[in-house]
Structure 1
């Protein structure tokens, strides 16, 4: 697709979700996100789902789907177009009803045990098939089209949905707390995404994972984790080995006592799951 087609046909919300960025506040037409280029506690990026544009009140910058990718990836227009062309994120802005703010753009059709061969193959490729009991298969409709994926539920009843081509959240965005028992343990392990949590469970004998686990489902959700983390005498961090993960790790170390950064276990890899995929014997 050319620039004009991409600006008109690629959903700005889905592009942001592809980078694990989700709204802090939203209604049917607009939403507020945290800024693309800085850390902040009050979201300043206003996104208009119908116009398919965004405006940063902190800097005065306006964005379309192409410039958003450029800002996040720090890349050229051609590289941004290549990224967007590889995603299945199309939508028709003319079909978005704006007169009913309470309506949502998706419908959950069915939630069931994971049985679809493509999803089983996907989990096997991620080396976490043994942990599929933490997941469900979700059939859903998104802007009139039917899809399916694996679903990981968060504390607000929303679902993190993944398959080979999709990364999004259906429902309210939130963290997920998985307790080892009825009472909080003395330690809690913190992960950015649920694939790292599932990887951790695979390695429980080596990593002594008899502890509670907190999955942020996006580092933007850290503010929702603050009260939970206060309950634990010790915090184990399994965050991504990238600038964003390092920044969140530093904030947690500054805000809490007895914090152990476990990212050295997968040094040289993006995250714990990538380390497992590339080092585990077939």
Structure 2
């Protein structure tokens, strides 16, 4: 099999051969639970017209060869082509188009408002997020996508793009970038680092709950990666801080990201996920939803000292979030 033959294989059919079926369809887009990582909500998209994929959790995408490279963690092209051909030997290739038509941007007629829609505020309330905090940190976006009108929560990044979220829709408006929130007049000594903006909003909600008389986080800066794949983009901004607290997910991607941070800043980094080690992430911790996935609950990469520390915190009856005292 050569490169052109591989790229002619429909991605949806290839994924079906591997045992992955779409969770939902939106026009020409098929949404899957990512084959590259563990997740509960589908954020892996296949565009059947372009025959391309994008994983919004990783911030990566491409053609079938790019997908095989991620799936099998190798970049030897002949080997990848051989595996694709072996797994999809009964799949019929896509018809070749004589001329590719230019495609319009996925998000059009974008309108940015103050966050106020009752459905969006209700969604945040269901996830335990304080409404006043959400109004201050997020925006309300109205746009068309594949010709249909939508509205969603928008969380801005440093490049003018947005993370986009509502109960049924998870995406980003390009460019995909990190968010850097600096408090006070100058750079603070400590920076809190989060994977996604729901983690960040969850932290602020916990902080406000525990410090109702001084709810604003004024002496710490925050960086939200908006995907662990953006960790490299945050490195230069983190370089000037004296201490970095990582509030990453308790899963493989989160632990890998923390090890990368530990290697880059060995004397500065602190693992704040030990405070919610029985939960997948900060939002589950806020809502009291313990992880039910055995592979993630095992915490095989967590040290005995971390486990003992967590038991002491819970046995002492400390209220939720008190471990996040600055």
The alignment's TM-score, normalised by the length of structure 2, stands at 0.61
Q: Distance in 1 between matches of 2:52 and 2:182?
A: 32
Q: 2:170 aligns with which of 167, 171, 175?
A: 167
Q: 2:63 aligns with which of 47, 65, 83?
A: 47
Shift in CA distance, 114/193, structure 1 to aligned 2, threshold 3 Å = same
| Aligned pairs (5 A) from 1:93-242 | 98-100=100-102, 103-128=104-129, 129-132=131-134, 133-204=136-207, 206=210, 209=217, 210-242=219-251
Q: Contact (CA 8 Å) 2:142, 2:149: kept in 1 or not?
A: yes
Q: Distance in 2 between matches of 1:21 and 1:231?
A: 35
| Aligned pairs (5 A) from 1:25-40 | none
Q: Distance in 2 between matches of 1:113 and 1:14?
A: 31
Residue 84 of structure 2 corresponds to residue 58 of structure 1 = no
| Aligned pairs (5 A) from 1:249-260 | 249-256=258-265, 257-260=267-270
Q: Contact (CA 8 Å) 1:54, 1:62: kept in 2 or not?
A: no
| Aligned pairs (5 A) from 1:258-273 | 258-273=268-283
Tell me the CA shift for residue 121 of structure 1: 0.3
Q: Distance in 2 between matches of 1:157 and 1:14?
A: 27
Deviations 1:135-168 (A, max 9, x none): 1110111111111110000111111011111111
Q: Which runs of 5+ in 1 are unaligned?
A: 23-27, 68-96
What is the RMSD of the two structures over their aligned residues, measured on CA atoms?
4.0
Q: Distance in 2 between matches of 1:217 and 1:19?
A: 16
Aligned to 1:244: 253
Q: Distance in 1 between matches of 2:247 and 2:109?
A: 31
Aligned to 1:75: none
The alignment's TM-score, normalised by the length of structure 1, stands at 0.69
Q: Which runs of 5+ in 2 are unaligned?
A: 1-12, 89-98, 290-318, 321-326
Q: Contact (CA 8 Å) 2:114, 2:140: kept in 1 or not?
A: yes
Aligned to 2:307: none
Q: Contact (CA 8 Å) 2:31, 2:42: kept in 1 or not?
A: no
Report the number of matched residues. Answer: 233
Tell me the CA shift for residue 108 of structure 1: 3.9
Q: Distance in 2 between matches of 1:12 and 1:58?
A: 26
Secondary structure of the residue aligned to 2:63 is strand
